[in-house]
C-alpha cells in the first residue's frame, strides 16, 4: 500500500471505471490526488487493485471513496484500506462517510469495521440508469477506538 499521486491518475481512473457503477470523473479524481487536505491510498497486486480517498475536515476524517477491483474482492483489500484510514484519524476524531442506502456490500463492510448509521439524506445520490430514481445516502460514523 502506498500514497497515490497525480502520476497514478491513469491507473486510478481505470480502476474506478472497472469498480464503480457511477465512476468519478478524471477531473474529480485528479482533484482528490492534489488536494491539500486529501490523501489517496492504493493497493497494488501488482497493478492498482484498490484505493481509498480520504479528506480531513477540521478534526474529522472523511472517507470520500473506496473501491476494490471486481477480480480482487473478498480478499481483505478494502479492510486494509479502512484500517489505514483509522490509523490516520486523530485520537479525538471519528471517521465519517456517506454510502448509497442500497449498497449492501459497502454497508456490510463498514458495519464489519464498527461504523454505525447516524443519519440519512433522502435523494442525495443521482439515479443509476435512465429508469432509476435518486437514492438516499446513509451517513455512517466510527470512533477510532475499537479498530479491527
Ligand atoms: C464494497 C467494496 C469496496 C468491498 O471491497 P472488498 O475488498 O471486497 O472488501 P473486503 O474483502 O475487505 O471485505 C471485508 C468484509 O466486508 C463485508 N463485505 C464485503 N463485501 C461484501 C459483500 N459483497 N456482501 C456482503 N458483505 C461484504 C464482509 O463482512 C467481508 O468479510 P468476509 O469476506 O470475511 O465475509 C467492493 O465491493 C467495491 O469496490 N464495491 C464497489 C464500490 C463501492 O461500492 N464502494 C463504496 C463506496 S461508499
Please determine, for residue 147, whether its predicted confidence score (pLDDT) is greater than 50: no
Cα 67 to ligand 1 centroid, rounded to whole Å: 9
Q: What is the mean pLDDT of the chain?
A: 94
Q: In this structure, which topology does domain 2-143 adopt according to CATH?
A: Aminopeptidase (3.40.630)
Please determine, for residue 94, whether its predicted confidence score (pLDDT) is greater than 80: yes
Please determine, for residue 146, whether its predicted confidence score (pLDDT) is greater than 60: no
DSSP state of 146: T
Which of 43-47, 86-90, 127-131, 144-148 has the least mean pLDDT?
144-148
Question: Cβ < 6 Å from ligand 1: which residues?
Answer: 19-20, 50, 65-68, 73-79, 99, 103, 105-106, 108-109, 112
Cα 75 to ligand 1 centroid, rounded to whole Å: 9
Q: Which residues, 6+ apart, have CB-to-CB distance to 123 below 8 Å?
A: 134, 135, 136
Where exactly are the structural domains of the chain?
2-143
Rounded percentage of the chain residues whose pLDDT exceeds 90: 86
Q: Which residues, 6+ apart, have CB-to-CB distance to 138 below 8 Å?
A: 98, 99, 100, 101, 107, 117, 119, 120
Residue 148 binned pLDDT confidence (cut-offs 50, 70, 90):
very low
The per-residue pLDDT for 45 is: 97
Local structure of 29: helix, strand or coil = helix
CA-proximal residue: ligand 1, atom 25 (nearest): 105
Please determine, for residue 90, whether its predicted confidence score (pLDDT) is greater than 90: no
Amino acid at each position: 500500500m502506498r500514497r497515490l499521486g497525480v502520476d497514478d491518475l491513469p491507473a486510478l481512473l481505470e480502476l474506478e471505471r472497472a469498480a464503480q457503477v457511477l465512476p468519478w470523473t478524471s477531473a474529480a479524481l485528479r482533484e482528490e490526488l492534489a488536494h491539500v487536505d486529501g490523501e489517496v491510498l492504493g493497493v497494488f497486486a501488482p497493478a492498482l487493485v484498490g484505493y481509498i480517498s480520504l479528506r480531513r475536515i477540521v478534526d474529522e476524517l472523511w472517507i470520500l471513496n473506496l473501491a476494490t477491483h471486481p477480480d480482487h474482492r473478498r480478499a481483505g483489500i478494502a479492510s486494509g484500506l479502512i484500517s489505514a484510514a483509522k490509523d490516520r484519524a486523530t485520537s479525538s476524531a471519528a471517521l465519517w462517510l456517506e454510502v448509497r442506502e442500497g449498497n449492501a456490500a459497502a454497508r456490510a463492510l463498514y458495519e464489519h469495521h464498527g461504523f454505525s448509521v447516524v443519519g440519512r439524506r433522502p435523494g442525495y445520490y443521482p439515479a443509476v440508469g435512465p429508469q432509476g430514481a435518486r437514492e438516499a445516502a446513509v451517513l455512517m460514523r466510527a470512533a477510532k477506538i475499537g479498530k479491527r
